[in-house]
Amino acid sequence: MKPYQLLVFDWDGTLMDSAYRIVACMQRAARDTGQPVPTERAVHEIIGLGMREAVRGLYPGLSEPDTARFIDAYRTHWLGDEVPASSLFPGARETLEWALENDYLLAVATGKSRRGLDKVLEETGLRDCFHVTRCADEAFSKPHPQMLEEILTDLDTAPQAALVIGDSEYDMQMAANARVPAVGVSHGVHDPERLRASGALHILQQLSELPIWLKGQRQETPLERWA
């Protein structure tokens, strides 16, 4: 029998190759609002957090009105079409389809806003893949466990029967805070060593490895154990 019933995916950097677009929109928002333009590396450090927490990570001490203006500028660029659209990572769609075919429950826990997530779900045609989704403007930002705990409640799943899949330490920390196992993907913003240090059980080089890894985690039934 399979040990996990629910797979909870991060979005940016895990399912979607969107880091370059986030960096571009952050840098444009900085120019629009007169803030210092952050480096690519600096933006990578805050990808995965809720938008308000991300801006405060880039600009400690920024006033609330200036934070709100920055967020508005960022969302204008993100929801516009001047920055090239992001695409799913290779194997992402096929991995989700495999999981559904094998009776896993699927969910998303993301630092994106509801409006932002709904936009990419519509663009990718993946809306119907997920039983539940949670966004950072609906709950506390990662690494707080609220998003994950609400998903567990909604889907009536015990923490040990769920698995978080993410690319950042914030995903791993959120999982640990909710006592949920987690695996990392190495094609996102944080390197494998950082993911392991934050509690990742395993590191996937690409999402297409997830089905193979899950098959290897199969638990014995009581009858098999005593056979």
Please state the rounded mean pLDDT for residues 145-150: 98
CA distance 120 to 21: 13
How far is CA 162 from its chain centroid? 15
Q: Note every long-range contact of 50-53, with CB atoms under 8 Å and residues 24 or more positions apart, other chains counting.
A: 50/111, 50/136, 50/137, 50/140, 50/141, 50/142, 51/75, 51/111, 51/113, 51/136, 51/137, 52/141, 53/136, 53/141
Tell me the mean pLDDT in the region 31-39: 97
Confidence of residue 224 (pLDDT cuts 50, 70, 90): very low
Which one-letter amino acid corresponds to residue 40? E
| Residue-wise pLDDT tens digits, 202-222 | 999 999 999 999 999 875 444
Contacts of 40 (CB under 8 A, 6+ apart): 23
Domain spans in the chain, listed from the N-terminal domain onward: 6-17+87-225, 19-79
Domains 6-17+87-225 and 19-79 share a fold: no
Residue 141: CB partners within 8 Å, gap ≥ 6? 49, 50, 52, 53, 111
Fold of 19-79: DNA polymerase; domain 1 (1.10.150)
Mean pLDDT of 67-83: 89
Give the pTM. 0.88
State whether the Cα torsion 166-172-174-177 is positive or negative.
positive
Classify domain 6-17+87-225 by CATH architecture: 3-Layer(aba) Sandwich (3.40)
